[in-house]
Amino acid sequence: MSNPSTPVREEDVRDTEELNPSETESSFGDILNQFEQSHAHEAAGDKGVSATVAAVVVAVSADSVFFDVGQKTEGVLPLAALADDQGPIPVKAGDTVQVSVGSRNSEGYYQLSLIKVERPKDWSNLQKAFDEKLTIAGVVTQVIKGGLAVDVGVRAFMPASRSGARDVPEMQTMVGQEIACRVIKLDTEKEDVVVDRRVVLEEERARAKEELLSHLQAGAVVHGTVRSLLDYGAFVDIGGIDGMLHVADISHGRVNKPSDVLTIGQQLDVKILKVDPAKQRVSLGLKQLQVDPWTTAAGKYEVGSRVKGTVARVTDFGAFVELEPGLDGLIHLSEMSWSKKVRKPSDLLKGGESVEVVVLGVNPADKRIALGLKQALGDPWEDVATRYPVDSIVEGPVTQLKQFGAFVQVSEDVEGMIHVGDIVNDKRINHPQDVLKVGEIVKAIVLENDREKRRLRLGLKQLLPTSVDEFITEHKEGETVTGRVSDVKGNRVTVELGEGVHATYSLAPQEQKTEQRVASVDVSALSSMLASKWKGAAGSGGAGESSEKRDVPKPGQVRSFRITKLDAGKKKIEIEAV
C-alpha cells in the first residue's frame, strides 16, 4: 500500500511498468531475462534497488510479510517496515503493495522495501483546479474513517458519500487505483483538501446518456435488464440509460403490479415507444412485442358461442370476464338474469369466479366483447306454456306492489302479474297494498301465458269463493226461489237472486208477443187492463193462471223462479219463470 509521504522516483515508475505483469503482456522469456539481469546486478555487488513493482501479499507471519513479485522466488519484507506517518499498515493475503525489489537474502527471498509515494505539493495547480472546477487525477491510498485517502499531489480526503462506491467492500477495491475527481474544498494554510469522485461519475453518465439518447429511436427493439420495480412500472437499463416500462405496457393481460411478472436482474427485449431528449426520458413497451389477442378475437369468439372465463372485476353496471390474457368481455347487468331481482352485479358474481357465458357481440376495433350470463343458463320463458298452462295453480311470494297490480315470483326466473282487478271479488280496491303486502305467499290461477311478450297474467280472486259459489252450494236444480228482475234485453231476462248472485232465462214466444202488444198501449190503459186481469183472476181459475204466465217481466218486479241449471265451474245459474 502506498503512502503520499514517500517520494516516487521516475526510474522506479519505469521499472514498475516494465516488471508489473498486470500492466504488460510479458512472455515467460521476458520475465526470465529480467530475472537474469537482476541476478547480474547482484553478482556485481549492486546493492541498490533494481525494480519497483506492485507486489501481492501471499502470506503474513509473526514478523514478516511474503509477496509475489512476479519472479520465480517470492519477496520478503519485515512486518515492522509496513508503517507510515499514521502508524502500522495492516495487510492480508491478496492485498497489493508498491515495493522496491532488491537482492536476495541468505534464504533466497528477494529483499523488499516499502515505496512511499508522495506527489509534489503543487498548490497553484490545485487552486486552479478548484477555481475552475477542473477534473484531476488521484490515487486512492487507503480506506480511512468516513471515506478514502487520495493522493492528488497532496494528501486529500474523499467522503464515502462522494466516492461513488455503494459500500465499504467496494471502497476497499479502489485502493491503489487511479481515479478522476474534483476538488470541492481547498484550504492551503491548513493543507486541507477534499475531493469528489461522484460528481465526475455523474457527469460522465450524463454525457453517456445524452449520447445514447441521440441514437435511440421510437419503434426500435433493444435489450435491457430490469433494474428496479415499483407499483406503477419497472425501470429497465438499456445500456447506460434507464427506460420506464409502465405496468400497462407489460402485458396485454391484466397485471396488478410489475413484481407479479418481472424480477430484478431479468434480461428482456423491449420496444422503444417514445424518446424525450429534453426530459431525458424513454418509454418502453413489452406487450408491443407480443401478439395482440384482439386481432384474432372476431374469428375466435363467434356470436352465439358458449365460452368460459374468469370474473376479473365487478362494477356497478356489470362484470368484466377475462376470456384469455388481454381479452376481457363485459356482462352487462341487464344480461345477468331473466328476472328483475338482481339489483347489482355483486349480488350474483364475485371476482375470481369461473363462469360460462354466451358471446352476444364482438367489436375488435373498440376492443369490446358483449357477453350474456342469463343466455348460458337457458331462457325460462321458452317452455312457459308447458310449465304454466292456463287454469293451472301457482304459488310464490309477492315481490312488488304497483298501482296497477302485484308481481309474484312463481320461479327463480319467472314473475307473474296479478292485475288490481283480479285480486278480490265483489268490490273494487284502489291499490294492491290494500289487500296484499310484499313477501306474502299467495296462490293464484294462470289466466294467460305469453312467451313472446314474456308475460304471465295471474288471478287471485278467481280462487276465492263468491256469492255465486255459496248460492250454488246451498241450492239445487228444480228448487223454486224468489228473485227481482234487474234487466230485460230482447228475450233475455237477468234476475237478481241475492247480493252479487244473478241468473238469466229467455222469454217464451207468447211472452214476447205480449211484450210487443204492451208496447203499443199507453201507460194508463195498461194499468186499467192489469187491474181488470187481477180481479178476474180470482174467479176465472185456470184462465187467470195462464194470463199471469203471459205477463211480461219488468225491471224491479219480484217473482218466483225455478232453478233449471247450476254450473259451479262456470259460476252460472239458469232459471225459468213459474
* pLDDT reported for residue 8: 34
What is the distance between the alpha carbons of residues 228 and 262, in angstroms, rounded to a whole number? 10
> All 3 cell numbers of residue 100?
522496491
Of 116-130, 333-347, 486-500, give the lowest mean pLDDT range.
116-130
Residue for grid cell 217464451: 508
58 and 93 Cβ atoms separated by less than 8 Å = yes
* pLDDT reported for residue 205: 82
What is the distance between the alpha carbons of residues 354 and 309, in angstroms, rounded to a whole number? 6
* pLDDT reported for residue 86: 56
* pLDDT reported for residue 85: 56
CATH says 123-202 is which class? mainly beta
State whether CATH 2.40.50.140 applies to domain 303-377: yes
Which contacts of 553-557 are long-range, i.e. CB under 8 A and separated by 24 or more positions?
A: 553/485, 553/488, 553/493, 553/507, 553/511, 553/577, 554/485, 554/488, 555/485, 555/486, 555/487, 555/488, 556/484, 556/485, 557/484, 557/485
Q: Global pTM?
A: 0.43
> Average of pLDDT values for 218-243?
91
What is the distance between the alpha carbons of residues 246 and 288, in angstroms, rounded to a whole number? 12
**493 or 122, higher pLDDT:** 493
% of the chain with per-residue pLDDT over 70: 81
* pLDDT reported for residue 501: 86
3-state secondary structure of 528: helix
State the burial class of residue 55 (Cβ atoms within 10 Å of its Cβ: 0-12, 13-18, 19+): buried
pLDDT confidence of 512, banded at 50, 70, 90? low
**479 or 106, higher pLDDT:** 479
* pLDDT reported for residue 241: 84
372 and 358 Cβ atoms separated by less than 8 Å = yes
3-state secondary structure of 256: coil
> All 3 cell numbers of residue 298?
372476431
**154 or 99, higher pLDDT:** 154
Enclosing H/E stretch for 523: helix 523-540
Q: Is the pLDDT assigned to residue 517 strictly greater than 80?
A: no
3-state secondary structure of 384: helix
Per-chain mean pLDDT for the chain: 80
Q: Is the pLDDT assigned to residue 313 strictly greater than 80?
A: yes
> Average of pLDDT values for 489-493?
87
The domain spans of the chain are: 10-114, 123-202, 216-289, 303-377, 384-463, 471-577
* pLDDT reported for residue 226: 95
**Domain 384-463 in the same topology as domain 123-202:** yes
The CATH architecture that domain 384-463 belongs to is: Beta Barrel (2.40)
The DSSP 8-state label assigned to residue 379 in this structure reads: -
* pLDDT reported for residue 211: 80
Of 112-121, 261-270, 380-389, give the lowest mean pLDDT range.
112-121
pLDDT confidence of 196, banded at 50, 70, 90? very high
Which of 459, 442, 294 lies closest to 392, judged by CA?
A: 459
pLDDT confidence of 80, banded at 50, 70, 90? confident
* pLDDT reported for residue 570: 79
- In CATH terms, the superfamily for domain 216-289 is Nucleic acid-binding proteins (2.40.50.140)
> All 3 cell numbers of residue 228?
428496479
The CATH topology of domain 471-577 is OB fold (Dihydrolipoamide Acetyltransferase, E2P) (2.40.50)
The CATH architecture that domain 10-114 belongs to is: Beta Barrel (2.40)
pLDDT confidence of 536, banded at 50, 70, 90? very low
> All 3 cell numbers of residue 199?
460528481
3-state secondary structure of 175: coil
